[in-house]
Amino acid sequence: MYQKFQEVLNEIIQTIVAEETANIKKAALLLSKTVMEGGTLYTFGTGHSLSIALEAVGKRGSLIKAKLLDEHIGNLARFERLEGLGPIIMKNHQLRQEDTVIVASNSGRNPLTIEVAKEAKRKGAKVITISAHAVKAELVSLSKDGKYLSDFADVAIDNHGDSKDLLIEIPATDLKVGSPSTLTGIYIYYLMLTEAVDLMIKNNFQPPLIKG
Question: In CATH, what number is assigned to the domain containing residue 168?
Answer: 3.40.50.10490
Find out whether 189 and 52 touch, Cβ atoms under 8 Å.
yes
> Over the chain, what is the mean pLDDT?
94
| Number of domains the chain is built from | 1
Q: 206 Cβ partners below 8 Å, 6+ apart?
A: 200
Question: Which residue segment(s) compose the domain that 173 sits in?
Answer: 2-202
Q: Find the mean pLDDT for residues 4-19.
A: 96
Strand, helix or coil at 164? coil
Amino acid in position 200 = M
Residue 211 lies in a domain: no
Position 74 scores a pLDDT of 63
CA dihedral of 141, 145, 151, 153, whole degrees rounded to 10: -110
Residue 77 lies in a domain: yes
pLDDT digits (tens, 9 = 90+) for 25-72: 999 999 999 999 999 999 999 989 999 999 999 999 999 999 999 765
Residue 212 lies in a domain: no
Query: Is 83 a residue whose pLDDT tops 80?
Result: yes
pLDDT digits (tens, 9 = 90+) for 200-210: 999 999 999 99
d(CA 105, CA 46): 7
Position 70 scores a pLDDT of 79
